Amino acid sequence: MSAKIIDGKAIAEKLRQQIAVDVAAFRERTGIVPHLVAVLVGDDPASAVYVRNKHSACEKNGLRSTLHKLPATTSQEELLAVVRQLNDDRDVHGILVQLPLPKHIRADVILDAVNPRKDVDCFHPINVGLLSQGRPWFLPCTPHGVQQLLIETGVPVAGAHVVVIGRSDIVGKPLALMLMQKGPGANATVTVCHSQTRNLVEIARSADILVAAIGQAEFVTPEMVKPGAVVIDVGINRVAGKLVGDVAFAGVSEIASAITPVPGGVGPMTITMLLKNTLTAAELATEGRRMKAEG
Ligand code: GUN
Tens digits of residue pLDDT in 82-99: 999 999 999 999 999 999
- Report percent pLDDT > 90 for the chain: 97
Is residue 273 over pLDDT 90?
A: yes
Q: How far apart are CA 230 and CA 253, in angstroms?
A: 10
CA–centroid distance, residue 258 to ligand 1 (Å):
26
* Catalytic site includes residue 60: no
Is residue 293 over pLDDT 90?
A: no
Position 102 scores a pLDDT of 98
Nearest to 3 by CA among 236, 261, 243: 261
pLDDT grade, residue 267 (50/70/90)? very high
CATH of 30-115, one of 3.40.50.10860, 3.40.50.720, 3.20.20.370, 2.120.10.30: 3.40.50.10860
Position 291 scores a pLDDT of 58
Position 5 scores a pLDDT of 98
CA–centroid distance, residue 98 to ligand 1 (Å):
5
pLDDT in tens, 179-232: 999 999 999 999 999 999 999 999 999 999 999 999 999 999 999 999 999 999
Ligand 1 in reach of 119 Cβ (< 6 A): no
CA–centroid distance, residue 229 to ligand 1 (Å):
28
Among the atoms of ligand 1, which is closest to the Cα of residue 121? 7
Among the atoms of ligand 1, which is closest to the Cα of residue 47? 1
What's the mean pLDDT in 3-31?
98
Ligand 1 in reach of 98 Cβ (< 6 A): yes
Q: How far apart are CA 38 and CA 83, in angstroms?
A: 10
CA–centroid distance, residue 92 to ligand 1 (Å):
19
- The structure's pTM equals 0.96
Q: How far apart are CA 153 and CA 4, in angstroms?
A: 10
Position 294 scores a pLDDT of 58
Position 290 scores a pLDDT of 56
pLDDT in tens, 95-131: 999 999 999 999 999 999 999 999 999 999 999 999 9
What's the mean pLDDT in 147-170?
98
Q: Where are the domains of the chain?
A: 30-115, 141-267
Q: Catalytic residue among 7, 22, 119, 121, which?
A: 121
* Pocket mutation for ligand 1, best pick of 39, 121, 122 (most atoms within 8 Å of C-beta): 121
Give the chain's count of helices (H) and strands (E).
10, 11
Q: How far apart are CA 151 and CA 187, in angstroms?
A: 12
Position 274 scores a pLDDT of 98
* Catalytic site includes residue 226: no
Is residue 292 over pLDDT 60?
A: no
Identical fold for domains 30-115 and 141-267, yes or no, is yes
* Pocket mutation for ligand 1, best pick of 37, 40, 50, 171 (most atoms within 8 Å of C-beta): 50
140 neighbors 121 (Cβ within 8 angstroms):
yes
Q: If 0-12 CB within 10 Å is exposed, 13-18 middle and 19+ buried, where does residue 45 land? A: exposed
Mean pLDDT, all residues of the chain: 96
What's the mean pLDDT in 156-178?
98
Q: How far apart are CA 208 and CA 198, in angstroms?
A: 19
Q: Whose CA is nearest to atom 11 of ligand 1?
A: 99
Residue range 141-267, CATH number: 3.40.50.720
Position 288 scores a pLDDT of 72
Q: Whose CA is nearest to atom 1 of ligand 1?
A: 99
pLDDT grade, residue 287 (50/70/90)? confident
* Catalytic site includes residue 98: yes
